[in-house]
Chains A and B, each alone.
Chain A
Amino acid sequence: MSEANDIIIQAEHLTKVFRDFWRRPKVKAVRDVSFEVRPGEVFGLLGPNGSGKSTTLKMILGLLHPTSGYLRVLGQSPREVKIKSRMGYVPEESYLYPYLTSEETLNFYGTLFDLNPAERKARIDQLLEMIGLQHARRRTVGEFSKGMARRIGLAQALINDPDLIILDEPTSGLDPLGCRQVKDLIVALAKRGKTVALSSHLLADVEDICDRVAILYNGQIQAQGTINELLEERERYRLTLPSEVPADVLKRVLAAVRTELGAEPDVDHPRRDLEQFFIDVVEKARREAKESSGVGPSQGVAEYLTPKETVLEQLATTSEQPVAVENRSHEDEEKKRAADEKLKKLL
């Protein structure tokens, strides 16, 4: 058990009841929920619509007040104004002022954090570059597509370099590229020791980035733990062979498995996931196109949010993928056909 001081978010028997005009209980949105979020952890609240995820996050943010239970954020009551300087919040939708430009929006929120003008300007430049909207810095947010506005929403949450970032459905409204960038960003922030709490009903998103999750249904936690604890099937095994395994070797391995286990193993080729494939295609198209009114190329994570060595790592892993996707895909297709032939012969 962690020391109380180390816990970023501590919720014990948290309950939220929404009441009607006459103060009669109407909806019990959160029921007796208990969990902890520790420093540097990416914690996910997972559940279908109406399961109480957003309500829980809004109680953590001090936007709603718990009906009963104990809730501490950064060691204080969530209604304490002081702790807000260490927090960042990305809401489910972009609740921005439509008549402000991107730059004015970030400048406004930066001023609320009392950042000095020079620092504010530097961070705004880096953030706009990070979210790929440096070309739209003087366009009003009201003109933006949902995805572009979401990016500004994300940038405003990071202007203060927060210790705790709370994201409500962070990938909602974003294209696969944007989703990937947000996920990469969350991972980068966690690497830097930031704590992240997010809600989502997109299981893949949560699985990719969360250290621990709590699954909510009908306002109650149904399961809680690390991704591995929850998903690992300890009684089953998966064997991954190195590439270019000679056919006769593979044949012998399969025969051995049949003999030793008395069961037919499943054999197929691993597939790249569609998200990665999509990102490769779009990246290639973007390099060829000169102009776009939408989201421009992202330049990785804002410098002030990332330690130097991690920036290099980050750029190496996310941005620098100068692979000719079409050629590679073509080669892949040929390889795949040959491998399929080989597999058919083996089986």
Chain B
Amino acid sequence: MKRILAIASIAGRSAVRSRVVGVLFVLLLLAIVGLPLTVRSDGTLAGEVQVRLTYTLGAVMIILSIATWWAGCAAVATEVQAKQIQLVITKPVGRHEIWLGKWLGLVALNAALLALSGAGIYGMLRWKLGTEQFSDKQRRELREQVLVARRTLAPVPLDVRSDAQQIFEQQRKQGALPTNQPVEQVLQAIEESIIRAAHTVPPGYKRTWEFELPESPAGERPVVLRYKFGSSAISKGTLVQGMWLVGPVEAADRFQLQQINATEGTHVVEIPAAAFKGARRIAVEYANINPLPIAVLFEPRDGLELLTYAGSFEGNLVRSLLLALFQLAFLGAVAVSAGTLLSLPVAALVSGYILLLVKAGDYVASLARDKGTYFGAGPQSTVGETALDWLLRGLLWVESAIVQPLQGPNLLEYLSAGRLLEWSAVAGAFLIKIIIYSGLCAAVTTFFFNRREVALPSE
């Protein structure tokens, strides 16, 4: 361990004495202090703080990500180039210790800079709230919408598989199904159409969704219903009138609230804790009472959410910084690995490509999920699937299986929207990004590094 720490401290000293830390510090300071001066918001205090948090923490993450990527690639690659690694390798130091030392140095540096940045962002926020005049309403909005950690609950998912099977069989008998499409793809399309229908409220109708709460809300703090929807109206921004009814599933009299909203954007409704009457299984009903014949379609993925109070903003900020640190640590692991096995420019390109694939994880996963053809053809074609489709699907599946576990909550969105980042998410990120993925990087790199000659004439 002493050896690993000695190598880590060298990485830290190198960063400090080569003025990298100084430059990073100035850039972070500009992001934390300078950036908020340039941002425009919707005019509300909550909106301004949301934008500030998103911009400053986003800028901090971009600066640290680029620095980590570059410093990680350079950590061993430049030492191989300058031959300093020869003196280290001729000491009783395992190659895994060199990798770990360099990576830990990088993680420690990131931890220090993230902690400073977090303290800076929080300090600036407190300073603003302490020195400027805001109305009580604005402060209350800020406290309840942004400076809070709220648990986000989605409706209990619908089981549509058996319904989809039934429809599929009916249509197959009627000869209404395309013949050149894979069965899975057709079933998936039917499932999606059922789900979409379950989120559509025709004019004069009502639709109910059920929510399972971990505990019934109590006290002063209201529960927030957040929703976004589209409509069958042709013109954008059409106003839609609806009635919300919220209460226990078995209750006849529910809390009611009439709303008129535009179809653009996200809307919120505050529901007093008393409306839940100590129940955990809650029904949320929407009645389309629009005078015009307009159907309303809620986004099936995140069109309807209940937000309940779960903790303080400060705790959420700490958890978001920890998640950011784990993300940077994984990024550093990929970069240090590439730099240990390749020359600096090649390492930068390769690790950049890998990190891009990880970033596009959701897109890759959706491609892998989409069981259609890629090269074969569309619905009009008679070619069907080709070998290339199989190959590409296999590759996408493998890639998706590798990068999907690395996807996590969007920190900026969660923190600025006052959404709870759970400790379980932090523990999960630690397990996946640090123990499993960074550990895998270390193991694979050590295997090849042990076989690498570091004193070749071409180095």
Contact = CB atoms under 8 A, between A and B. Distances in A.
A76 interface: no
A63 B6 contact: no
A290 B87 CA distance: 35
Interface stretch (B13-21, B63-71, B138-146, B271-279): B13-21
A99 B17 contact: yes
Interface of B: 2-3, 6, 10, 13-14, 17-18, 82-84, 86-94, 450, 453-458
Interface stretch (A78-86, A200-208, A226-234): A78-86
A18 B92 contact: no
A79 B6 CA distance: 22
A85 B91 CA distance: 6
- 9 closest A-B pairs by beta carbon, nearest first, are A63-B455, A99-B17, A111-B6, A112-B91, A85-B92, A84-B92, A95-B83, A89-B90, A58-B455
Contacts of B92: 81-82, 84-85, 112-114
Nearest to A94: B87
A96 interface: yes
Contacts of A61: 86, 90, 455
Given A96-B84, A100-B13, A114 B93 contact: no
B129 to A, nearest CB: 42
20 contacts: A18-B456, A18-B457, A61-B455, A62-B90, A63-B90, A64-B455, A65-B453, A82-B92, A84-B91, A95-B84, A97-B10, A99-B13, A99-B14, A100-B13, A104-B13, A108-B10, A109-B91, A113-B92, A114-B2, A140-B17
A96 B84 CA distance: 6
Contacts of B455: 58, 61, 63-64
A108 B6 contact: yes
A87 interface: yes
Nearest to A112: B91
Contacts of A178: none
A61 B10 CA distance: 23
Given A18-B456, A63-B453, A84-B91, A91 B83 contact: yes
Contacts, number: 77
A114 B1 CA distance: 10
A51 B90 CA distance: 23
Contacts of A100: 10, 13
Contacts of B458: 18
A97 B450 CA distance: 23
Contacts of A82: 92
A65 B457 CA distance: 13
Given A64-B456, A112-B6, A99 B18 contact: yes
A84 B84 CA distance: 16
A93 B102 CA distance: 24
A59 to B, nearest CB: 9
Contact of A63 (B2, B10, B18, B454): B454
Contacts of B3: 111-112, 114
A156 interface: yes
A79 B95 CA distance: 11
Contacts of B91: 84-85, 109, 112-113
B454 to A, nearest CB: 6
Contacts of B18: 99
Contacts of B17: 99, 140
Contacts of B89: 62-63
Nearest to B85: A95
Contacts of A104: 13
Nearest to B90: A89
Given A58-B455, A111-B2, A112-B3, A156 B93 contact: no
Interface of A: 18, 27, 58, 61-65, 79, 81-82, 84-85, 87, 89, 91, 93, 95-97, 99-100, 104, 108-109, 111-114, 140, 156
A93 B94 CA distance: 23
A320 B386 CA distance: 88
A33 to B, nearest CB: 17
Contact of A112 (B82, B86, B93): B93
A89 B457 contact: no
A140 B3 CA distance: 22
A89 B455 CA distance: 14
B82 A95 contact: yes
A27 B456 CA distance: 11
Nearest to A57: B455
A93 B82 CA distance: 10
A100 B6 CA distance: 13
A35 to B, nearest CB: 20
Nearest to A92: B83
Interface centre among A27, A63, A156 (most CB of B within 10 A): A63
A191 B318 CA distance: 62
A61 B3 CA distance: 19
Contacts of A81: 92-94
Nearest to A84: B92
B371 to A, nearest CB: 40
Contacts of A113: 91-92
B456 to A, nearest CB: 7
A329 B82 CA distance: 46
A18 B456 CA distance: 8
Nearest to A90: B87
B65 to A, nearest CB: 25
A112 B88 CA distance: 8
A119 to B, nearest CB: 13
A108 B98 CA distance: 13
Contacts of A111: 2-3, 6
Contacts of B10: 97, 100, 108
A178 B91 CA distance: 25
A81 B89 CA distance: 9
B86 A95 contact: yes
Contact of A84 (B6, B83, B86, B93): B93
B90 A97 contact: no
Contacts of A93: 83
A109 B87 contact: yes
Given A99-B18, A114-B3, A84 B453 contact: no
A265 B102 CA distance: 69
Given A61-B90, A140-B17, 11 more contacts: A18-B456, A62-B90, A63-B90, A63-B453, A63-B454, A81-B92, A85-B91, A85-B92, A99-B13, A99-B18, A112-B92
Nearest to B95: A81
Contacts of B457: 18, 27
B429 to A, nearest CB: 32
Contacts of B94: 81
B96 to A, nearest CB: 10
A99 B13 CA distance: 8
B102 to A, nearest CB: 13
A84 B453 CA distance: 16
A140 B18 CA distance: 12
B82 to A, nearest CB: 7
Contacts of A84: 90-93
A156 B453 contact: no
Contacts of B456: 18, 64
A96 B450 CA distance: 22
